[in-house]
Amino acid sequence: MAPASSRSDKVPLMSTQQRYRLRNPASGREVLIEAEPNEIYRDRDTGEELEIVGKLLPLAPSSSKLPWAVENLRFCPWCDQLAQKDLNDCPTCGRRMGPLGAPLSG
């Protein structure tokens, strides 16, 4: 008899697909998606074909779903390398990072 599956059995640990920035050439509207190779993506409003503008960092596979942007990064207290805010462990040194502090009020 197979063991009962738990909820964690179905949750992927990392995103294995690459995320891309796609743009509608006519309107300039952009969308971020995990695109499949050799697929044609269309703007849902106009039906026009979207063009690939670029890959988003971090490159797949990655534990983080956040784009590599200043507002989404923090420094690891152990190795002083940048890591996304949604990660608990540093992708560079592998050590556990502490909780994020409260945002500064301006």
**Max Cα distance, the chain (Å):** 59
Provide the phi-psi class of 74: left if phi over 0, else alpha when psi is between -120 and 50, else beta: beta
Q: Average pLDDT in the 79-102 region?
A: 90
Burial group, residue 24, by CB count within 10 angstroms (0-12, 13-18, 19+): buried
Q: 């500064």: which residue's tokens?
A: 104
CA 56 from chain centre, in angstroms, equals 8
The predicted-structure confidence for 3-45, as pLDDT tens digits, reads as follows 555 544 444 455 578 888 999 999 999 998 888 878 999 999 8
91 and 74 within one domain: yes
Instruction: Domain count for the chain, please give it.
Output: 2
One domain, residues 45 and 67: no
**Domain that includes residue 91, residue range:** 63-100
* 10 assigned to some structural domain: no
Q: Is the pLDDT of residue 49 over 60?
A: yes
21 with 51, same domain? yes
